[in-house]
Chains A and B, each alone.
Chain A
Amino acid sequence: MGRIAALTRNPVMIALVASLAIAGCASKKTPNSAADLGLSGAGAATPGSAQDFTVNIGDRIFFDTDSSAIRADAQTTLSRQAQWLNQYKQYAIVVEGHADERGTREYNLALGARRAAATRDFLIAKGVSAQRLKTISYGKERPVAVCDDISCWSQNRRAVTTLGGAGS
């Protein structure tokens, strides 16, 4: 609990933790991507690569309980995302909306969809073309953190901006 609380106060650290989780997951799905993602070192990512996006920009934002409002810290992340996405226009984008487990299944599907839409709308307002953006809700079906307390729930209430339609 204490460690996680400290992490959430440090956006750089949380981005790093998140990117490791992604790399692990992506490497299972597409073996070739491990090399592409430059697992040898976070700072070594090629500018404009997916690894650059997840590590140096931050591919996810977090929400308060039962809320789809874009928090101040999330606005900072999304503004960085928009700037990057406007620079590297070759990527199609899927925004995934997720919920924590402290809600019922169907409601959380709707809540995840609302979070994905709010994230998409923010990116559009920052100049990202609506044509590049799709959304999908996973409700509470794909948690990244699997403990049964607040530290995990806050990491699961998220929207993840994925490039080229690759899943997280």
Chain B
Amino acid sequence: MKRFFATLLMIGTVAIGLSGLATLPAKALVEIDVNKGNIEPLPIAITDFQGGDALGAEISGIVSADLKRSGLFAPIDKSAFIEKISNPDASPRFDDWKVINAQALVTGSVGKEADGRIRAQYRLWDTFAGQQLSGEQFFANDANTRRVAHIIADAIYERLTGEKGYFDTRVVFIDESGAKNARKKRLAIMDQDGANVRYLSDGRAIVLTPRFSPNRQEITYMSYESGQPKVYLLQIETGQRELVGNFPGMTFAPRFSPDGQKVIMSLLRDDGNSNIFAMHLRSRATTRLTNSAAIDTSPSYSPDGSKVVFTSDRGGRAQIYVMGADGSGQTRISFGDGVYSTPVWSPRGDLIAFTKQTGGEFQIGVMRTDGSGERILSTGFQQEGPTWAPNGRVLMFFRDSNGGPKLVSVDLTGRNEQPIPTANFASDPAWSPLLE
């Protein structure tokens, strides 16, 4: 296993200002209100970073693609640019950018330090106010070029929307290949934009439902490798694996607690029903949270760890329930016309995403944590399994069409749906927190 988390500390950041200009009073600055219902994407000009030959264009290309896919930005075609930026540290000719309606402008440079590290810096300009909005400098080793670009995209996103970005993140998922009745399934990890795919299992055993730990170092998932389907823990860096718990029956549907200390999952009972348990990873202490003659599964903690949302068919067909993290106060919250499953609590705490089956179709939607305010974001013949971007503004899920599943993202407006490129079929995505 290659060490790719160990390099994170190599990235340093320094805020850079432009004397005089940066101290102008901030008024009528360009910004995006992500809470508005219908967002007109902000026209933004992203120039090629100076220096570093192909590297400069690569970085600006990654920044541009990230911002475009968010649906909040409309990067302007470079062929429309009038001013050719020669000094990215100097104030640009704002009129040249206003005339092509670039409300924001990104300039930057990239170069190699004597010690071999890459140094990249960007400046974000408000063209109509005629001032710099932000500027930062980053250092990284060679392997982290794409990460630097994602970090710059996050900084621009945050400066212009007031929300944290989600581009410097990874996704674990199941890579699927082969015939539908003999699918080879491999645990895989990639950047959120589909780049840098790495395989974490060899495909000999069926693997399902991987989920990131809050510390980004571990994955919990389900595997048939022992013959009996069980929940495992995998250290991403070392490849070290261990069984989670020593239960007699099938364990499945694992997720970490927000503090990373526990895994919550379903355990099959001898009577064929399934109940929810939480296991402390260090002490191995196990707590039973549900005890019903029903299917209780797909548990997901609230971000403060005080509650758990889950699926149960105790009322007849599958619906969504919420309970205290100790199992107390189990309450049904979904009452719409259909079958509800795969609830996932938003990292912001405000919403629960779910899969709903109704009228022969599968929908991805969100509701408030009391079940009110249901909104359907995407409808399709076969799709399921939402996972939240760490800023709680975007969901990723998988959709089966044309012979197999592919990953798709959708924002909370439901208007901006984007395919996530993968070489093979892909399912069961789980989004990491922002990397560090």
Complex CA distance for A139 and B229, rounded to whole angstroms: 11
Task: Show 16 residue pairs from A and B whose CB-CB distance is below 8 angstroms, ordered by the A residue.
Answer: A66-B317, A101-B400, A102-B357, A102-B382, A105-B209, A106-B298, A107-B342, A109-B229, A110-B273, A114-B273, A114-B295, A121-B272, A141-B206, A146-B179, A148-B381, A148-B382
Asked whether, in the complex, the Cβ of A137 is within 8 Å of the Cβ of B229, the reply is yes
Complex CA distance for A106 and B231, rounded to whole angstroms: 12
Query: Lowest 6 CB-CB distances: which A-B pairs, in order?
Result: A117-B272, A114-B272, A146-B180, A106-B253, A110-B295, A104-B341
Asked whether, in the complex, the Cβ of B208 is within 8 Å of the Cβ of A113, the reply is no
Complex CA distance for A109 and B251, rounded to whole angstroms: 10
- Please tell me which one of the listed residues B180, B229, B313, B318 contacts residue A143 in the complex, with CB atoms under 8 A apart: B180
Nearest opposing residue in chain B for A114, CB measure:
B272
A16 proximity list for chain B (CB < 8 A): none
B297 proximity list for chain A (CB < 8 A): 106-107, 109-110
Q: Does B271 have its Cβ within 8 Å of any Cβ on chain A?
A: yes
Q: Knowing A105-B208, A106-B253, A137-B229 touch, does A118 contact B318 (C-beta < 8 A)?
A: no
A113 proximity list for chain B (CB < 8 A): 249-250, 268, 272, 274
CB distance from B311 to the nearest CB of A (A): 6
Q: Which of chain B's residues 164-211 have a Cβ closer than 8 Å to chain A?
A: 179-181, 183, 185, 206, 208-209
Q: Does A34 have its Cβ within 8 Å of any Cβ on chain B?
A: no
- Please tell me which one of the listed residues B222, B274, B339, B385 contacts residue A110 in the complex, with CB atoms under 8 A apart: B274
A132 proximity list for chain B (CB < 8 A): none
B384 proximity list for chain A (CB < 8 A): 104-105
Query: How many A residues touch the partner, as a band?
Result: 20 to 34
B311 proximity list for chain A (CB < 8 A): 106-107
Q: Does A50 have its Cβ within 8 Å of any Cβ on chain B?
A: no
Q: Does A18 have its Cβ within 8 Å of any Cβ on chain B?
A: no
Asked whether, in the complex, the Cβ of A110 is within 8 Å of the Cβ of B179, the reply is no
Asked whether, in the complex, the Cβ of B253 is within 8 Å of the Cβ of A104, the reply is no
B228 proximity list for chain A (CB < 8 A): 136
Q: Does B154 have its Cβ within 8 Å of any Cβ on chain A?
A: no
Chain B 311-339, CB-CB to A under 8 Å as 1, else 0, gives 10100011000000000000000000001
With A66-B317, A107-B342, A116-B272 already in contact, 5 other A-B pairs whose C-beta atoms are closer than 8 Å: A106-B252, A106-B311, A109-B252, A110-B297, A136-B227
Asked whether, in the complex, the Cβ of B341 is within 8 Å of the Cβ of A106, the reply is yes
Complex CA distance for A127 and B216, rounded to whole angstroms: 51
Asked whether, in the complex, the Cβ of A106 is within 8 Å of the Cβ of B357, the reply is no
Asked whether, in the complex, the Cβ of A107 is within 8 Å of the Cβ of B341, the reply is yes
Complex CA distance for A106 and B318, rounded to whole angstroms: 12
Asked whether, in the complex, the Cβ of A142 is within 8 Å of the Cβ of B181, the reply is yes
B181 proximity list for chain A (CB < 8 A): 142-146
Complex CA distance for A94 and B272, rounded to whole angstroms: 15
Q: Which of chain B's residues 336-362 have a Cβ closer than 8 Å to chain A?
A: 339, 341-342, 355, 357
Q: Does B417 have its Cβ within 8 Å of any Cβ on chain A?
A: no
Chain A 90-111, CB-CB to B under 8 Å as 1, else 0, gives 0000000000011111110111
Query: How many B residues touch the partner, as a band?
Result: 35 or more
Complex CA distance for A118 and B381, rounded to whole angstroms: 30
Q: Does B270 have its Cβ within 8 Å of any Cβ on chain A?
A: yes
Asked whether, in the complex, the Cβ of B268 is within 8 Å of the Cβ of A107, the reply is no
A104 proximity list for chain B (CB < 8 A): 298, 341-342, 355, 384-385
B318 proximity list for chain A (CB < 8 A): 107
Q: Does B428 have its Cβ within 8 Å of any Cβ on chain A?
A: yes
Q: Does B266 have its Cβ within 8 Å of any Cβ on chain A?
A: yes
Q: Does A68 have its Cβ within 8 Å of any Cβ on chain B?
A: yes
Nearest opposing residue in chain B for A106, CB measure:
B253
Asked whether, in the complex, the Cβ of B268 is within 8 Å of the Cβ of A110, the reply is yes
CB distance from A63 to the nearest CB of B (A): 13
Nearest opposing residue in chain A for B398, CB measure:
A105
A143 proximity list for chain B (CB < 8 A): 180-181
Complex CA distance for A6 and B266, rounded to whole angstroms: 39
CB distance from A157 to the nearest CB of B (A): 15
CB distance from A136 to the nearest CB of B (A): 7
Complex CA distance for A136 and B273, rounded to whole angstroms: 13
Complex CA distance for A146 and B209, rounded to whole angstroms: 22
B385 proximity list for chain A (CB < 8 A): 104-105
A103 proximity list for chain B (CB < 8 A): 339, 341, 357
B341 proximity list for chain A (CB < 8 A): 103-104, 106-107
B381 proximity list for chain A (CB < 8 A): 148
B253 proximity list for chain A (CB < 8 A): 106, 109
Q: Which of chain B's residues 393-436 have a Cβ closer than 8 Å to chain A?
A: 400, 427-428
Asked whether, in the complex, the Cβ of B266 is within 8 Å of the Cβ of A106, the reply is yes
CB distance from B355 to the nearest CB of A (A): 5
Asked whether, in the complex, the Cβ of B266 is within 8 Å of the Cβ of A110, the reply is yes
Asked whether, in the complex, the Cβ of A118 is within 8 Å of the Cβ of B209, the reply is no
Chain B 10-33, CB-CB to A under 8 Å as 1, else 0, gives 000000000000000000000000
Asked whether, in the complex, the Cβ of B272 is within 8 Å of the Cβ of A118, the reply is yes
Could you say which of B227, B229, B381 has the most chain A C-beta atoms within 10 Å of its C-beta? B229
Q: Knowing A106-B252, A136-B229 touch, does A111 contact B295 (C-beta < 8 A)?
A: yes
Q: Knowing A104-B341, A106-B311, A143-B180 touch, does A137 contact B382 (C-beta < 8 A)?
A: no
A141 proximity list for chain B (CB < 8 A): 183, 185, 206, 208
CB distance from A38 to the nearest CB of B (A): 24
CB distance from A67 to the nearest CB of B (A): 10
Chain A 67-106, CB-CB to B under 8 Å as 1, else 0, gives 0100000000000000000000000000000000111111
Nearest opposing residue in chain B for A137, CB measure:
B250
Complex CA distance for A110 and B342, rounded to whole angstroms: 13
Complex CA distance for A106 and B384, rounded to whole angstroms: 11
